[in-house]
Chains A and B, each alone.
Chain A
């Protein structure tokens, strides 16, 4: 039997990106929708994100970035998660994305991939659907 619990989400920002508004907005929105949200803060490493995700036993890692580096970030976070031997933590992404970025993220198994202006309900429903 799987225990019943609120959905746990780690919101992560990797690398040199100061643009925090999206992450903070998502943080409070998910809280208001009954989820437990852990925020890593800015300037994290992929290894730090993976360690936090495993330690906190989260269901979802949400990557936020506005420097155009999401595919690289996602790839390195996924590879660090693999080193921990976990494969069932879902990874979603959002921020500044080109259509080519979205394609390569989807190929990696990263879902969501929402750009600026996405209604919050869409993101909330997507995360609920994953868990």
Chain B
């Protein structure tokens, strides 16, 4: 079969749980292809409300993919189907990308109940590309029991993922920093679970103490669990699973409010991306005007907005 771009055909393929349909649909939404809006609308309506969505974030090389590999194994043993979205950086110079996360999850390569898709970040901010958010809709419609999102290797302020998943785990490794580092705003605030990976290395216990030091300020029922793992040896993974269940049992309390906030975030992010495309259309012309001293960048921005309204 040649690759179809027919939206009806893709929707049918997805309903029959054929990964070809899902794979093609993701490509279309990722590349702004024809039928994107219909696919996403359809997916939103079909989306399963019962699936668990997990986010794994952390700096490059801390072991996100390797840990996810172990987590997939746990869910597979429990008979759950698993979908994974992994994101690696796009080169700002060539536009190309090396997508290497799949390599760490290769033991699931022949399992038809595990679907792994690698996405390139393509200028995403916040560690989560527009395409990732849209792929999430399609994954939910496909009906996996568990959906795992692995972010780009991120730094201090890339916290988007937490807005779109049920449970966010932050991976750290020994040597990350001292108590002041733990107290800083941003990524340390979004974690529902702290995972200290590579805990076979020196400094793991110290890091755990430093994290707990900050977390003790929170009431016990809201305190994020801190877990030690050595993902490459499959150690500590059961504790990760328990932590996920613990956080899950907590978040049902304010489930409705959480869902409301997520929908708000989804609308905002889609609206901003549409707006960005429109603004980009006027950009070159405005740059010329600023360069010829006809206007200033601030005025140019207001001109563009006026133009959009008109």
B117→A32 contact, CB < 8 A: no
**B106 touching A44 by the CB < 8 A rule?**
yes
Do B118 and A32 touch across chains, with their CB atoms under 8 A apart?
Answer: no
14 A-B interface contacts by CB (under 8 A): A1-B5, A2-B33, A3-B31, A3-B32, A31-B97, A33-B96, A36-B96, A37-B96, A51-B110, A55-B19, A57-B3, A57-B27, A85-B20, A86-B20
Q: Residues of B with Cβ closer than 8 Å to A? A: 1-3, 5, 19-20, 23-24, 26-28, 30-34, 90-91, 93-100, 102-103, 106, 109-110, 112, 115-118, 120
CB < 8 Å A-B pair total: 107
Give the residues in chain B near A52, CB-CB below 8 Å.
Answer: 102, 109, 116
Contact of A86 among B1, B90, B116 (CB under 8 A): B1
A39, B98: Cα distance in complex, Å: 8
Q: Which residues of B contact A6 (CB under 8 A)?
A: 95-97, 120
A15 to B100, CA, bound (A): 19
For A4, A28, A39, the residue with the greatest tally of chain B CB atoms inside 10 Å of its CB is A39
On whether the beta carbons of A57 and B24 are closer than 8 Å, the reply is yes
A interface vs B, CB < 8 Å? 1-6, 27-28, 30-41, 44-45, 47-49, 51-52, 54-57, 84-88
| Top 6 A-B pairs, shortest CB-CB distance | A3-B33, A48-B109, A3-B31, A31-B96, A41-B103, A5-B31
Task: Please name the residue on chain A nearest to B32 by beta carbon.
Answer: A3
Residues from chain A with a CB closer than 8 A to the CB of B115 are: 55
Set of chain B residues within 8 Å of A55, measured between Cβ atoms:
19, 23, 115-117
**Chain B residues near A85 (CB, 8 Å)?**
1, 20
Question: Considering the chains assembled together, what is the distance between the CA atoms of A128 and B19 in angstroms?
Answer: 26
Contact B30 A5 (CB under 8 A): yes
CB–CB A54/B2 < 8 A: no
**Centre residue among B19, B90, B94, B110 by max chain A CB count within 10 A:** B110
Which A residues are in CB contact (< 8 Å) with B97? 6, 31, 36-37
Give Cα A2 to B100, complex, Å.
26
For the complex, give the distance between the alpha carbons of A44 and B108 in Å: 11
Docked pose: A45 CA to B107 CA in angstroms: 10
B1 CB contacts on chain A under 8 angstroms: 85-88
Q: A5, A36, A48, A51 — which one has the most chain B CB atoms within 10 A of its CB?
A: A36
- CB pair A34 B95 closer than 8 Å: yes
Per the bound structure, the CA–CA distance linking A31 and B32 in Å amounts to: 22
A3 with B34: CB separation less than 8 A: yes
Knowing A34-B95, A55-B23, A57-B26, say if A44 contacts B109 (CB, 8 Å): yes
Q: Is the CB of A38 within 8 A of B102?
A: yes
Question: Which residue of A is nearest B91, CB measured?
Answer: A31
Bound-state Cα–Cα, A61 to B253, Å: 48
Cβ–Cβ < 8 Å partners of A32 in chain B = 91, 93-94, 96
Pair B28/A3 contact, Cβ less than 8 Å: yes
- The answer to whether A40 and B116 have CB atoms under 8 Å apart is no
Shortest CB-to-CB span from B230 to chain A, Å, is 20
A4 contacts which chain B residues (CB < 8 A)? 31
Which of B96, B112, B120 is packed against the most chain A CB atoms within 10 Å?
Answer: B96
Shortest Cβ distance from residue A125 to the other chain B in the assembled complex, whole angstroms: 15
CA distance A34 to B91 in the complex (A): 8
Q: Specify which chain A residues have a CB less than 8 angstroms from the CB of B91 in the assembled complex.
A: 31-32
Complex alpha-carbon distance, A86 and B102, angstroms: 21
- How far does the alpha carbon of A69 sit from the alpha carbon of B26 in the complex, in Å? 34
Known: A37-B99, A52-B116, A56-B102. 17 other contacts (CB 8 A): A3-B31, A5-B30, A5-B31, A28-B98, A31-B94, A31-B98, A37-B98, A38-B118, A39-B99, A39-B102, A40-B103, A40-B109, A45-B110, A51-B110, A57-B23, A57-B27, A88-B2
